[in-house]
Structure 1
Amino acid sequence: MKIKISKPILIGGVALIGIAVLIGIVLIIFGGAKKEVSTDPLNLYNKVVVGMTKEESEKILEVEGSAKGKGFNYLDENTGYGVTLSYDTVATAAAEGTADTGAEEPAEVVVFKQLYVPDDTYLDGLVNANVTADQINSLKEGMPYEEIKTILGGIDGIEINSAYNKKDPANTYSVMAWINPDRSVAYLTFLGYKGTLKVFEFRPAK
């Protein structure tokens, strides 16, 4: 005995199958895809810039910070590296010039950031150079970054911390590192990112 399926039921069944397939495709595209995991040691450090509000920085880092001294430490569980941030309220010229005592309080912003390295063994993952103490000692305060880069073999340094500059907010203090395979490190402080040299030090391996 043949069972006849009425057209409305048949059409409805096909429609339900179509909807189910569509939902499956949407889930695969938007929900099923795995989030890309970064293996870059500077992943979290590079996401934040000095002057960014605390709210913005914590939103973009997507990890919960833990108190560390006067700041907060944000750890990337995939790499072991992280970033340490200090916040403060920085009064702008506009805020200082207003007489409105009812004005909204300035937000806390990042005034210092530093690459978090658990211990010296993690320097191995940051090796980027092979510089000598003699090369570093030949440098002079005021030298531009590009000239220093040439002296050090054309290798870029890695920025490992940046700090707010009260005297010149447009130019942060930036510490760059040239890290050797033996874990000796050259630390150079610049006025402005890749700006002019202020302080330099060659620290031998321990």
Structure 2
Amino acid sequence: MTRKKFGPLAVAIIVFVGLLSGCGQNSSPNSNTANHDPANFYNQVQLNQTKDAVGSALGVTPESDDSYYNYIDQNTGFGVRITYNDSNQVTGKWFYALDSDLPQLRNATVTAEQAAAITEGMTYDEVTSMLGGEGMEFACVQNPSDNANPITMHVWINDDGTVLYVTFIGAKGTVASSKFFSK
């Protein structure tokens, strides 16, 4: 089975829009309990948390992949991909999943027209109101320009596999960019 590496995609999108401390907790639309929540591991990690604290909280040994550490929840098959700084503190986290498990994350019915209506500077509340829901926090990285406002990315995944990515400055701040991907 191959693993879908979301970290580089999230970083590429953030860099693409010219952007490069704890992020908001993510609630998964598919969860009943923490043990079955695809975002369980992702939600337990916060920016600036130490590597030892992450290991203690998640209770698994990470797989190392270049400068990323992948922690996989054996209960769900989902996990979190993390980068650390020289002080072993979390500087970024990305949702991580097996390719075959991605269909479980479908959480929306957004259109290309809605995506096109999202503009830079819109508030998180304006976006979620327009789309009819919060989507899923997919990535959170330190903002080198403003430590108090991390860069977060939320995704809305449709049944047909199309995905809307919206990057915010701040955990529930303002839109920096949005991109609608179709198959």
TM-score, normalised relative to structure 1 = 0.70
2:156 counterpart residue number: 178
For the residues of structure 2 that align with 1:140 and 1:81, how far apart are their CA atoms? Answer: 31
| 1:116 corresponds to 2:96 | yes
For the residues of structure 2 that align with 1:71 and 1:134, how far apart are their CA atoms? Answer: 35
Runs of 5+ consecutive residues of structure 1 not aligned to the other structure: 1-35, 90-106
Identity of aligned residues (%): 38
Runs of 5+ consecutive residues of structure 2 not aligned to the other structure: 1-32
2:112 counterpart residue number: 133
Q: What SS is found at the alignment partner of 2:98?
A: coil
For the residues of structure 2 that align with 1:77 and 1:55, how far apart are their CA atoms? Answer: 20
Cα pair 2:34 2:40 within 8 Å, conserved: no
Provide runs of 4+ in structure 1 moved above 4 Å: none
For residues 78 and 197 of structure 1, do their structure 2 counterparts lie closer, same or farther at Cα, with a shift above 3 Å needed? Answer: same
1:99 counterpart residue number: none
For residues 134 and 37 of structure 1, do their structure 2 counterparts lie closer, same or farther at Cα, with a shift above 3 Å needed? Answer: closer
Cα pair 1:112 1:162 within 8 Å, conserved: yes
2:25 counterpart residue number: none
For the residues of structure 1 that align with 2:80 and 2:174, how far apart are their CA atoms? Answer: 24
The Cα offsets for residues 65-84 of structure 1, whole Å up to 9 and x where unpaired, read as 01112111111111111111
Q: Comparing both chains, which one has the higher relative contact order based on Cα–Cα distances under 8 Å and sequence gaps of 6 or more?
A: 2
What is the Cα deviation at residue 127 of structure 1? Answer: 1.2
For the residues of structure 2 that align with 1:173 and 1:112, how far apart are their CA atoms? Answer: 9
For the residues of structure 2 that align with 1:203 and 1:114, how far apart are their CA atoms? Answer: 18
Q: What is the correspondence of 1:185-204 to structure 2 with a 5 Å cutoff?
A: 185-204=163-182
Q: Which has the larger radius of gyration?
A: 1
2:42 counterpart residue number: 45
AA paired with 2:77?
G
For the residues of structure 2 that align with 1:76 and 1:172, how far apart are their CA atoms? Answer: 25
2:74 counterpart residue number: 77
AA paired with 1:187?
Y
1:155 counterpart residue number: 133
2:56 counterpart residue number: 59
